[in-house]
Structure 1
Amino acid sequence: MQPARNLLTQGMTPRKLAATVALGTVVGIVPAFGVSSAISTAIAARFRLNIAATVLVGYLVHPLQLLLAIPFIRLGIFVFGLSELRLSLDEMIAMFKADWLDALNKLWMANLAGFSVWALLALPLGGLLYLLLLPLFKKVLPQPQEVRV
């Protein structure tokens, strides 16, 4: 247990921890299944955040990803003026039976619209989470000790 804890808290300052949790949360709810780990790893590496902790936070918010996927898609359909898409299983089966190529095209466009709405909201949401979490982590994390010579 201690090695895992050390890996997750290695080099964590309140600022880095707030950025790690905000990034992991925002990327973890992306309405495109299977890409959140790759995206969070790349962004965490670019900004020198703890990759393991970022990916872990992304995994912890996966239930939110499932809950928010349909609302993101519906909002994307509305924002981009796409034709209404019925997302129940029976209606999707009927769409594929009628014309599977058209059904794939409609689902692809709806997913792309949902991803686009997520992308538009990701930066403001991440910034807000960071600003909300920073004071909390400043209180919770131990302050670095001053070295006196």
Structure 2
Amino acid sequence: MITKLEDQRHTWVRRNLVSPVVRMLRLGASPQRLAWSLAAGFVIGMNPIIGSTTAVTVAVTHLFKLKHAASQIGVHGAYPFQLLLLLPFLHAGTVLFGTSALPLEKADLLRLIHEHPLQLLRSLWMWEWHALVVWLGFAVVLMPALAMLLGHMLERAMRHPRMAVR
């Protein structure tokens, strides 16, 4: 068992992502259910609507009876990917739906804020939901693949507990 003192010597990833998952396994969580929970959290955590991840994760974990704590671990692990993929999702949405590109220049955004604030809000919402459609297509493929991969890893960790966390 990993003690708090031992846990403090390890990296943030180990303390906040790996160790809690290993503890859940040791407390009797099913590797497959845990894998689906982690995968759902990770994929939801990458969605392009910043600030929506916790609410969406709570709803999905409740609906599919997944482990909420494991899904939150997945969300926290995905946060850097959410930031990295935001602009690619927005761009892919504009390409897929054939809409105008998102103005990324400060001067363009300030001009729109002052001259056409309602038009800017409508455009922002349009770009967001187009990005969300792209993310949904991405999620449909990524979530099962990630759940299968994590399931194999967690089952192996159950069979070889000394190798799970060192």
Give the TM bin, normalised by the shorter chain. Answer: 0.7 to 0.9
What CA deviation, in whole Å up to 9, does each residue of 1:46-85 have, x standing for no partner?
2222101211220221121111111111101110111122
State the superposition RMSD in angstroms: 2.3
**Alignment equivalent of 1:120, drawn from 103, 112, 137:** 137
**Alignment equivalent of 1:91, drawn from 102, 108, 117:** 108
Summarize the Cα distance change of 1:81–1:12 in structure 2 as closer, same or farther, 3 Å threshold: same
Q: Structure 2: any 5+ residue segments left out of the alignment? A: 8-18, 161-166
Q: Structure 1: any 5+ residue segments left out of the alignment? A: 144-149
Mapped pair 1:43 → 2:60: yes
**Alignment equivalent of 1:16, drawn from 21, 33, 41:** 33
CA distance in structure 2 between the partners assigned to 1:48 and 1:128 by the alignment: 19
Q: Show the counterpart of 1:131.
A: 148
Tell me the TM-score normalised to structure 2 length. Answer: 0.76
Question: Identical aligned pairs, as a percentage?
Answer: 29
Tell me the TM-score normalised to structure 1 length. Answer: 0.84
The structure with the largest helix share of the pair is 2
Q: Which runs of at least 4 in structure 1 moved beyond 6 Å after TM superposition?
A: none
**Number of aligned residues:** 142
CA distance in structure 1 between the partners assigned to 2:101 and 2:20 by the alignment: 47
